[in-house]
Amino acid sequence: MFLNHATFALSRNPVPKTETIRARIEPELKSQAEALFSQLGLSATQAIRLFYKQATLQRGLPFAVRLPNAETREALRQAREQEDLTEYESLEDLKAAHH
């Protein structure tokens, strides 16, 4: 991660959080977004701060933060549980099995 002088200075001497952001938003969108933030382990305030920080660092709209789809979640679960894994003796054996 790229850290510039200003970012480093902020981490050593935190600026008090005294500003407030107010926005009107559709109730359903707010509910859906906050449920997603919760799944990601973030509060709405933390998500907004993350967005602002990344927009500032990237000098534009930041990256997309998404939950993995069902297929990816299943693959991650199988990997964590070492389920349905195939071992190969060498890289050449792996390549040969997939050609």
pTM of the model: 0.50
Question: Are 34 and 44 a contacting pair, CB within 8 Å?
Answer: yes
Number of other CB atoms surrounding residue 49 within 10 Å: 14
**pLDDT tens, 4-61?**
444 444 455 577 888 888 999 999 999 999 999 999 999 999 999 999 998 999 888 7
Residue boundaries of the structural domains of the chain: 1-67, 68-99
Architecture of domain 1-67: Orthogonal Bundle (1.10)
